[in-house]
Amino acid sequence: MQEARAAAARGEVPVGAVVTDAAGQVLARAGNEVEARRDPSAHAELLALRAAAAATGDKLLPQATLWVTLEPCAMCAQATAFFRVKRLVFGAYDPKGGGVEHGPRIFSQPTCHHVPEVVGGVREGEAAALLREFFAGLR
């Protein structure tokens, strides 16, 4: 939530992500940087996964948990599979743009190479409220 709040303060959609190792130690953390980088792929999940891989010196994260405040989109869900993340934990569900429990349901596709354990709805109300407040402020 801290990374999501920081992203909102920068004018980014308030999504935050943290990657932890098997012992629960933080490997990387990030908030959305789409606007700052002028890069539509600069989602919190991708930034955190890349940083975690760099921190471990490996391209795969088979013992890692990805914590994110919003259900990952299809791009981020696929990246989670490509990084071979062990567990994905997310907060708010995203019926419009989600790619895990909604939309393309990436992990349910027969072409998905790796399916992490998925836990959704963790601190869902808090994460959803942060998003609602952010978008209400834009209107």
Largest CA distance in the chain: 43
Token duo for residue 112: 């998905």
Rounded Cα distance between 44 and 69, Å, is: 9
Q: Is 45 a catalytic residue?
A: yes
Say if residues 93 and 71 touch (Cβ distance below 8 Å): yes
| Choice among 3, 45, 71, 101 that is catalytic | 45
From the list 98, 96, 46, the residue with the least C-alpha distance to 70 is 98
Active site residues per annotation: 45
